[in-house]
């Protein structure tokens, strides 16, 4: 009787929410169970994190103790006598700073089907890093950590967006990547955001049916995700790994919405969409018998263009969640997302989630609260990054406004691991630092040791472009001229300099841009912002060169990177610095 009464209350509650009219009672119950368990566990985690910020040093000591205790019987811990370490200071003095090469033999053994000698934590996947700024790596991880992140985000959504309802469907843009398995098949080898078949039961809160998340070709994935999202008027949120995927997705919608309208009306999936037969059969069944009323609504809104299209298609959408990897959040809030907040949820990498954005509604640059209850942090001051044995500082020792390279110790077996990310401290939450990502050390330009980061490069470029207010850059990247010297059949320039490649997104013809003048302006701006470049400029570094490239060149670069590195579509970020001669070759072959 109690169970029936509880079920009745739950069904009454579900009926009061903005639930899709296409949802069955069973699906609604599964959605309710998942959404509210995620909300409960996320709130619990947030309470713990916020409590730890009152005494971050104690929280970090407790976390180090927990990691060392959990892993004390692993081969790595025994070899390095980690069980004898009792404090943060002792850990700092007895265990060296590390890079990935320290763990390669352990990971290689795991990839060949051997035991995990790094951690006692259950490992379910070897996560491939993107390799955008260096060689790809394999990081042992438990994929349940990604569900923990989703739970924390759910808790933040309910706090910050009053109209958000966990029972609303989420429009999630995703493209799966190819997966392999370790010898014996025990672990998968794939990017962190890959969705495996065993994870499909957890996908009930999304507008796309679970099997749609297994599609591995980007345009076919776009079609399916948009098709099922357009069927749902009550979508509550859009979710994507990066804003760049949202931009590309809505470009695709602009070209293909008429076919989607026909499919919504008829309950079909266009034959031009190439899907594995099992996935197509499953998805077509879930399209139902068609919905002519909704099809006409979508047609009318798409015919009006893309200005404010998200709110017009989904009137009850509360926010968009995606990491702003292009720095265009405000631009999207004035175009396709007019009237909808854009939320950049976290600072994360394959090695772990370093920080959450716990204040989504703040204007300007996002700040992120360090996950001090989950990872042990140390920080190397920016001016000591190149030292042979740099001093590190703990979370209660770093200063607002300063920049530091991040060093992490986490449960999966990385100890005092140099992440290669440089962050800037922006403030405090209670006594815990809030930070923002600044740059990757691997993306710095440095011909003679001057080390110019990409923030300086971007600021210099944007300042130089103010002379041409109508010009809009679609993409740009940089390279050091030393890479050109490695290319055959290319006229060599003996001068050392920075090279800029730019793809213009504007109706103004590229002929109106004086690339030589732009190069000089960029150069002056870099010199005014960077003392070491000023010194080197007068001695050894020549004025930079700007090349304007044909439209579509960066798509060619993207295809090359996806085909020749460990990067996948779902985790791809357009590189700001080209790191191989082959990449430079692609750009030079497409200069206007």
Q: Assign 1 a pLDDT band (cuts: 50, 70, 90).
A: low
Classify residue 231: in a domain, yes or no.
yes
pLDDT of the residue at 490: 56
Residues 448 and 584 in one domain: yes
Tell if the pTM clears 0.75, that is, is over it: yes
What is the average per-residue pLDDT within 79-94? 94
Q: Considering 292, 322, 340, which residue would you say is the last residue of a domain?
A: 340
Residues 255 and 292 in one domain: yes
Q: Give the structural domain span for 452.
A: 444-588
pLDDT of the residue at 143: 76
Residues 208 and 331 in one domain: yes
**562 within 8 A of 573, measured Cβ to Cβ:** no
CATH code of the domain covering residue 61: 3.40.50.12780
Q: Considering 318, 340, 362, which residue would you say is the last residue of a domain?
A: 340
Q: Which residues contact 473 (CB under 8 A, 6 or more apart)?
A: 461, 465, 502, 503, 504, 505
pLDDT of the residue at 16: 57
- Report how many domains make up the chain: 3
Strand order in the sheet with 342-343: 170-172, 237-242, 319-323, 342-343
Residues 414 and 332 in one domain: no
pLDDT of the residue at 537: 46
Residues 482 and 569 in one domain: yes
Classify residue 21: in a domain, yes or no.
no
Q: Which residues contact 131 (CB under 8 A, 6 or more apart)?
A: 137, 565, 566, 567
Q: Considering 442, 470, 489, which residue would you say is the last residue of a domain?
A: 442
Residues 175 and 293 in one domain: yes
Classify residue 488: in a domain, yes or no.
yes
Classify residue 152: in a domain, yes or no.
no
Residues 285 and 299 in one domain: yes
Which contacts of 198-201 are long-range, i.e. CB under 8 A and separated by 24 or more positions? 199/143, 201/30
Residues 312 and 413 in one domain: no
pLDDT at 156 over 80: yes
What is the average per-residue pLDDT within 134-147? 79
CATH code of the domain covering residue 449: 3.30.300.30
pLDDT at 527 over 80: yes
Select, from the ranges 71-85, 467-481, 553-567, the one with the highest average predicted confidence (pLDDT). 71-85
Residues 253 and 133 in one domain: no
Which of 107-111, 420-424, 509-513, 545-549 has the lowest average pLDDT? Answer: 509-513
Classify residue 265: in a domain, yes or no.
yes
Residues 350 and 293 in one domain: no
Distance CA 440, CA 565 (A): 18
Distance CA 177, CA 181 (A): 13
Integer-rounded Cα Rg, in Å, for the chain is: 25
Q: Kindly state the percentage of the chain with pLDDT values over 70.
A: 91
What does DSSP assign to residue 112? T
Tell me which of 66 and 327 has the higher pLDDT: 66
For strands 403-409 and 432-440, give the pairing.
unpaired
Classify residue 358: in a domain, yes or no.
yes
Strand order in the sheet with 125-128: 138-141, 125-128, 188-190, 180-181
What does DSSP assign to residue 129? P
71 exposed, middle or buried (CB, 10 Å; 0-12, 13-18, 19+)?
buried
**Strand, helix or coil for residue 170:** strand
Classify residue 503: in a domain, yes or no.
yes
pLDDT in tens, 429-443: 999 999 999 888 888
Distance CA 294, CA 7 (A): 31
What is the average per-residue pLDDT within 356-380? 89
If you average pLDDT over every residue of the chain, what do you get? 87
**403 within 8 A of 426, measured Cβ to Cβ:** no
Residues 272 and 131 in one domain: no
What is the average per-residue pLDDT within 83-104? 94
Which of 118-127, 448-457, 464-473, 488-497 has the lowest average pLDDT? Answer: 488-497
Residues 493 and 574 in one domain: yes
DSSP track, 517-580: HHHHHHHHHHHHH-HHHHHHHHHTBPPPEEEEB-TTHHHHHHHHHHHHSS--GGG----SB--S
pLDDT at 570 over 80: no
Distance CA 423, CA 342 (A): 22
Classify residue 253: in a domain, yes or no.
yes
């Amino acid at each position: 009787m109690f169970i029936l009464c509880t079920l009745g209350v739950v069904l009454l509650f579900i009926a009061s929410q903005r639930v899709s009219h296409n949802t069955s009672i069973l699906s609604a119950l599964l959605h309710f169970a998942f959404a509210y368990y995620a909300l409960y566990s996320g709130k619990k985690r947030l309470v713990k994190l916020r409590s730890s910020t009152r005494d971050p040093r104690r929280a970090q000591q407790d976390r180090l103790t927990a990691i060392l205790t959990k892993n004390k019987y692993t081969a790595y811990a025994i070899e390095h006598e980690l069980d004898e370490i009792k404090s943060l200071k002792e850990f700092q003095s007895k265990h060296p700073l590390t890079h990935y090469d320290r763990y390669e033999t352990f990971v290689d053994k795991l990839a060949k089907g051997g035991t995990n000698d790094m951690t006692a934590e259950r490992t379910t996947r070897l996560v491939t890093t993107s390799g955008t700024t260096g060689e790809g790596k394999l990081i042992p991880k438990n994929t349940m950590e990604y569900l923990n992140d989703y739970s924390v985000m759910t808790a933040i959504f309910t706090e910050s967006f009053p109209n958000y309802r966990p029972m609303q469907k989420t429009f999630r843009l995703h493209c799966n990547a190819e997966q392999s398995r370790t010898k014996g098949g025990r672990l998968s080898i794939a990017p962190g955001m890959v969705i495996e078949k065993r994870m499909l039961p957890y996908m009930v809160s999304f507008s796309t049916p679970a099997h749609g998340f297994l599609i591995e070709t980007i345009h076919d994935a776009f079609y399916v995700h948009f098709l099922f999202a357009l069927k749902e008027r009550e979508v509550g949120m859009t979710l994507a790994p990066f804003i760049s995927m949202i931009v590309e997705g809505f470009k695709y919608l602009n070209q293909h919405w008429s076919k989607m309208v026909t499919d919504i009306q008829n309950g079909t999936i266009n034959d031009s969409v190439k899907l594995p037969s099992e996935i197509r059969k499953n998805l077509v069944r879930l399209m139902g018998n068609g919905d002519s009323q909704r099809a006409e609504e979508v047609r009318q809104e798409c015919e009006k263009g893309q200005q404010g299209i998200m709110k017009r298609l989904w009137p009850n959408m509360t926010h968009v969640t995606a990491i702003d990897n292009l720095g265009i959040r405000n631009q999207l809030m004035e175009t396709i997302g007019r009237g909808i907040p854009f939320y950049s949820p976290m600072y994360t990498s394959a090695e772990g989630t370093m920080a959450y954005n716990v204040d989504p509604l703040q204007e300007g640059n996002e700040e992120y609260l360090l996950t001090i209850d989950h990872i042990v942090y140390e920080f190397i001051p920016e001016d000591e990054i190149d030292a042979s044995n740099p001093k590190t500082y703990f979370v209660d020792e770093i200063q607002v406004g300063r920049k530091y390279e991040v060093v992490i110790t986490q449960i999966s077996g990385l100890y005092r691991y140099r992440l290669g990310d440089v962050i800037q401290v922006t403030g405090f939450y209670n006594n815990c630092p809030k930070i923002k990502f600044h740059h990757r050390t691997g993306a710095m330009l440095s011909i003679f040791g001057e080390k110019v980061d990409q923030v300086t490069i971007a600021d210099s470029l944007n300042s130089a472009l103010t002379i041409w207010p109508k010009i809009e850059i679609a993409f740009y990247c940089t390279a050091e001229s030393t890479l050109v010297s490695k290319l055959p059949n290319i006229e060599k320039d003996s001068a050392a300099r920075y090279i800029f490649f730019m793809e213009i997104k504007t109706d103004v013809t590229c002929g109106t841009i004086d690339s030589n003048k732009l190069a000089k302006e960029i150069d002056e701006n870099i010199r005014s912002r960077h003392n070491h470049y000023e010194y080197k400029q007068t001695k050894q570094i020549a004025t930079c060169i700007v090349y304007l490239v044909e439209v579509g060149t960066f798509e060619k670069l993207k295809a090359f990177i996806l085909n020749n590195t460990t990067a996948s579509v779902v985790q791809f970020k357009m590189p700001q610095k080209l790191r191989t001669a082959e990449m430079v070759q692609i750009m030079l072959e497409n200069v206007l």
